[in-house]
Structure 1
Amino acid sequence: MEANPRGIPKAPFVDNVDEYLKTDSVEATLRKFTEATSKYRFMENSKLQQRGSLEQKIPEIEKTLAMVEYLASQSESDKPVKTLFEVNDTLYAHATIPPTNTVNLWLGANVMLEYTMNEAQELLTSKLGIAKKNLKETTEDLEFLRDQITTMEVNTARVFNWDVKQRRSEQAATA
């Protein structure tokens, strides 16, 4: 079975309903299509959450990287850097930062590590690259999933309409 680069299976397109239904009943086929559509929708919701998380994370990484680069450029100076830093979404505090060659970065799960400026820049640049790559792949997966959902909905409609047509022709033949 074909799949996209991240292993999401491609939905089969039912071109000839008569031929396709030779191996399965209408009810079983419709149930199978409904189940596949549900799985694609579940994957789509998961990818939408992942995209939202990445879209939130990328600006934070960029902002942190910009600050580390600024502090690195000021580390040669003897003057302290005066700044406002964000404590919370709407709370900022004044800070005076003496010249330094290290910076502390939150890694998550209440873990903070001290890095040299170069190490911090490398780490943040790497994380930013990975996050942007993941965002691109997630967006591609979402487009792929939308196509697969549409294909499965079309398949379902075609099989359902074929079944209605068959029942009407059977009723007409018996009448």
Structure 2
Amino acid sequence: MRVLGIDPGYAIVGWGVVEYAGNRFAPVAYGAVCTDKDTPFEQRLCEVYDGVLDICKRYQPQALSLEKLYYQHNQTTVIGVAEARGVILLAAAQCGIPIYEYTPMQVKQAVTGYGKAVKKQIQEMTRILLKLPAIPKPDDTADALAMAVAHCHCATSRLSGLR
């Protein structure tokens, strides 16, 4: 199974493609789509869309794993992130990629086995599972890889429950 994990945003969209077979993970590619703060917001959304569409076409994932949006502190930021999520979802839908959403607690549980793990624990466990020499930077990229790993664990758990 090939999964694209995305940490949504409009300044930085972390992404990571992971291959999962036989309980083994292999990183395929990862990085970030970055937009300039001085660029008009609507153009930033175009850049996010184009970047994610290119990733979807280039790596042809079988699933997109994305964090569920939740309101944290800044109402202005959450609206912008929601709009960025919209263009991300559109790009995936246009490529025919099924979309799966997970809460932060579900990701923590799936990656570390502990629903209240801290960010560094998640990043380190993701690094170990993917056999990476270091935690990818920026943090958004590491978070995106964790999203992909979480979906691999959750999807196979769902499938094994169907047997």
- TM-score, normalised via structure 2 length: 0.25
Question: Which structure has the bigger radius of gyration?
Answer: 1
**Higher share in helix:** 1
Q: Whose strand fraction is larger, Structure 1's or Structure 2's?
A: 2
Query: TM-score, normalization: structure 1?
Result: 0.23
